[in-house]
Structure 1
Amino acid sequence: MAVRLLGYEVADLCLGNPPLRSLSVSATVGDALVALKTSEDNYISVWSCDHSSSSKSDETCRCIGKICMVDVTCFLCLEKNLSSPSSALKAPVSVLLSQVPVGLVRHVEPSSSLLEAIDLILQGAQNLVVPIKSNSRRKILQKSSNSPTIHNGREYCWLTQEDVIRFLLSSIGLFSTIPALSVEKLGIISTEFSAVWYHSPASAAAGAISDSLAEQTSVAVVDSDGILVGEISPFTLACCDETVAAAITTLSAGDLMAYIDCGGPSEDILRVVKARLKERNLEGMLEEFALSNSSKDIPSFNSSSSSDEESLPSPTTPFRRSGRYSRSTSYSARMVRRSEAIVCHPGSSLVAVMIQAIAHRVNYVWVIEEDCSLVGIVTFSNMLEVFREYLQSMA
């Protein structure tokens, strides 16, 4: 019976999770950029610590948020920072946290129950900060006061939505017939999501990218008929470097997908970015990011997603359906995330969607009809609501 899961504590779900690397809230955006580039994790935890206090309680050293490359990128894309990204990098890292909803990061004790962890996630928490239980190895580490993972003699780790979903999936057989029910039958398909037209300027989606990062979802890229073409995923953007800010500033949504796709941007699309930066007199961004290409000639802009001479329509202009972009029908596993969306159908079972999301390291799966028209999105939070209700009935 699923009731046995109620006996598990947060510490049980954290076994093997690595200690958090931290960054002080007094650091700059540039410091955060360096930390992200040298970290094996996409996120860096930001801490506020009062080392002048004689107290050694956890209250004097708290994780107040997390940042990733997408936070830096969206900050650099702000109008006030486009002309002088070097100045923007000198801003305090707190500016990256100011746009993040309160409560995304929460401290919990290792003895907290699984049900308590799920409740916090459903209340909006993305990451739970959990003290790692001491062992002899960590006692040695604690002697190093300069360690970026030590706070008041303790190390901490993340517990994420993915960790909880993985744990529930490992015990999926305990949940009766629920895992076999379709996402449509369970009523967990959300119609609230961000979307942008294929030919719209990528800069118009900057706000949606920031919002989707906070919601741990993505931005759908669709055509005028509502067909899902692909996505601009914060997960994929987090694997890029800061130069992608130039691409967001200058390219269309469709071209941005090509820019961040596997293998990195082509020389042609880099030339387009460079040309558009020059056209907009954004020499500061061009110099800061040192964008270069092998060709001496910079062509006038043509959509890199098209081989013809068609000019791009405005964001409000309906555009023609064509074969220039593929529909999102692939379910195949990929070693590297791409701009091709991970999709399911309304009739897909809950367990199948869970496996898809975990296999592709995303917190959501897009829901489409047979003609690839976009229906909605299923998120880890949606799934956890189902499991929470079932576990509560067992308590």
Structure 2
Amino acid sequence: MAVRLLCYEVADLCLGKPPLRSLSASATVADALAALKSSDDNYISVWSCDHSSKRNNNNNNNQECLCVGKLCMVDIICYLCRDENLMSPSLALNSPLSVLLSNVKALVRHVEPSSSLLEAIDLILQGAQNLVVPIKSNITINSKRKQLQKSSSITPTIHNGQEFCWLTQEDVIRFLLSSIGLFSPIPTLSIDALGIITHEFAFVDYHSPASSAIGLISRALTDQTSVAVVDEGGILIGEISPFTLSCCDETVGPAIMTLSAGDLMAYIDCGGPPEDMVRVVEERLKERNLEGMLEELYNVNSNSSSEDEELLSPTTTLSRPGRYSRSTSSSARMVRRAEAIVCHPWSSLVAVMIQAIAHRLNYVWVIEEDCSLVGIVTFANMLEVFRENLECMV
């Protein structure tokens, strides 16, 4: 019966998905910052297009429009925390987007709507985070052009009359969960028995400087995981998650450079940073002669807010330093943002799938009864199990 899953195509998983919003590869970091703040999405797609008249006369127009990457607020925050950018964040923001695009190849891959479910899973297991899929457009070119005139930095991805959406690991996992009974008894087995617990993971000590985790945060963003915060006994205290940081603004950079990992968790938790912690950050920046960094970022934040006021949705407002709020539809986490989502080695595969999906995460931490950290389970780990079972049906 499960063989019917092999008949599904990528287009079936894209039904109802909205068209991507895009940014030109020729834009600046500041453009990306403004685009992210004016969108309800945590990520923005970056495109390289050649619309020269000669190329547009051939039969493969869309081949000249390629999604070359994706960006989120974490990319900008980590970039601003580089030593060479600490003294002059405003200058760093004028850099081209190429400084942010990941060196890791194939994080985004173009696929045809007719591609099979198996092909999509294979690409994800090869390292693709997002599959870019052409979709039919119900909006005319003229109406799109009006929108392009309204927004110069962020636009719908309409290329030679073609719109695109993208497919994520979460989309595929949700689709498989809807037919989970077809894989019985695999979903009821424990994640330990299935051997899908990854025992190598990024972690930082609770009392360590948060700045020591910048490289780990960047890697976690690429791997779609997180950085665990543990005590000296290996007990999981919380996490510094790219998911959480993507909901902050660029002014969280100074906090990363001055606070401990434990204090940073409190700084980025729900509701924005405590006022006393904001003062601590300011004092420590002065001690390091970096007070200009915070002032510049606040000015950038203020200017960005006024310039993009027309682009912001009615539910979008700028809040206290270190955080900006958007429509809550982009996040379904019902816990404090620095609190890690956990399971146990004996948890079933289907239980962990539901847990991750419910919190809009691509991973779940695995702990023992005493809260000692064992490892992490990711969507990629889960997809390996389903791929092996689908292989038997081919």
TM-score (norm 1): 0.87
Contact kept, 8 Å, 1:194 with 1:212, in 2: the verdict is: yes
Partner of residue 315, structure 1: none
Distance of 1:42 and 1:336 partners within structure 2: 19
Offset from partner CA, 1:268-303 (integer Å, 9 cap, x none): 000011111111111321211239xxxxxxxxxxxx
Contact kept, 8 Å, 1:195 with 1:219, in 2: the verdict is: yes
Partner of residue 18, structure 1: 18
Distance of 2:281 and 2:202 partners within structure 1: 25
Partner SS, residue 83 of structure 1:
coil
Partner of residue 129, structure 2: 126
Shifted more, 2-11 versus 278-287: the winner is: 278-287
Distance of 2:54 and 2:143 partners within structure 1: 21
Instruction: Report 1:196-215 matches (<5 A).
Output: 196-215=204-223
Partner of residue 305, structure 2: none
Partner of residue 203, structure 2: 195
1:385 CA displacement: 0.2
Offset from partner CA, 1:210-257 (integer Å, 9 cap, x none): 000000000000011110000000000000000111110110000000
Partner SS, residue 118 of structure 1:
helix
Shift of the 105–53 alpha-carbon distance from structure 1 to 2, 3 Å rule, reads farther
Partner of residue 5, structure 1: 5
Residue identity opposite 2:22 in structure 1: S
1:52 CA displacement: 1.9
Contact kept, 8 Å, 1:100 with 1:214, in 2: the verdict is: no
Contact kept, 8 Å, 2:191 with 2:345, in 1: the verdict is: yes
How much identity, in percent, do the aligned residues show?
A: 76
Residue identity opposite 1:66 in structure 2: K
1:148 CA displacement: 3.2
Partner of residue 391, structure 1: 390
* Residue 116 (structure 1) aligned with residue 119 (structure 2): yes
Structure 1 gaps, min length 5: 292-332
Distance of 1:133 and 1:160 partners within structure 2: 19
Partner of residue 265, structure 2: 257
For residue 79 of structure 1, the aligned residue among 80, 83, 101 is 83
Shifted more, 48-57 versus 189-198: the winner is: 48-57
Distance of 1:281 and 1:152 partners within structure 2: 50
Taking only aligned residues, the RMSD between alpha carbons, in angstroms, comes to 1.5
Partner of residue 64, structure 1: 68
Contact kept, 8 Å, 1:142 with 1:154, in 2: the verdict is: no
Distance of 2:55 and 2:12 partners within structure 1: 29
Residue identity opposite 2:81 in structure 1: C
Distance of 2:20 and 2:336 partners within structure 1: 24
Distance of 2:146 and 2:10 partners within structure 1: 27
**Number of aligned residues:** 352
Partner of residue 349, structure 1: 348
Distance of 2:336 and 2:19 partners within structure 1: 25
1:142 CA displacement: 5.5
Distance of 2:226 and 2:365 partners within structure 1: 9
Offset from partner CA, 1:160-180 (integer Å, 9 cap, x none): 000000000011011020000
Residue identity opposite 1:80 in structure 2: E
Distance of 2:289 and 2:125 partners within structure 1: 45
Residue identity opposite 1:244 in structure 2: V
Residue identity opposite 1:281 in structure 2: N
Structure 2 gaps, min length 5: 149-154, 300-331
Residue identity opposite 2:354 in structure 1: I
For residue 89 of structure 1, the aligned residue among 66, 75, 93 is 93
Distance of 2:120 and 2:277 partners within structure 1: 44
1:145 CA displacement: 8.4
Distance of 1:140 and 1:110 partners within structure 2: 25
* Residue 272 (structure 1) aligned with residue 280 (structure 2): yes
* Residue 339 (structure 1) aligned with residue 338 (structure 2): yes
Shift of the 220–64 alpha-carbon distance from structure 1 to 2, 3 Å rule, reads same
1:149 CA displacement: 2.5
1:58 CA displacement: 1.4
Partner of residue 108, structure 2: 105
Shift of the 8–287 alpha-carbon distance from structure 1 to 2, 3 Å rule, reads same
* Residue 33 (structure 1) aligned with residue 33 (structure 2): yes
Contact kept, 8 Å, 1:142 with 1:153, in 2: the verdict is: no
Distance of 1:338 and 1:100 partners within structure 2: 28
Partner SS, residue 119 of structure 1:
helix
Contact kept, 8 Å, 2:19 with 2:156, in 1: the verdict is: no
Partner of residue 311, structure 2: none
Distance of 2:141 and 2:120 partners within structure 1: 27
Offset from partner CA, 1:80-136 (integer Å, 9 cap, x none): 000110110000011001x4411000000000000000000000000000001244x
Residue identity opposite 1:280 in structure 2: R
Partner of residue 309, structure 1: none
Task: Say which structure is richer in helix.
Answer: 2
Offset from partner CA, 1:300-350 (integer Å, 9 cap, x none): xxxxxxxxxxxxxxxxxxxxxxxxxxxxxxxxx843651100000000000
Partner of residue 320, structure 2: none
Contact kept, 8 Å, 2:333 with 2:360, in 1: the verdict is: no
Partner of residue 307, structure 1: none
Residue identity opposite 2:66 in structure 1: R
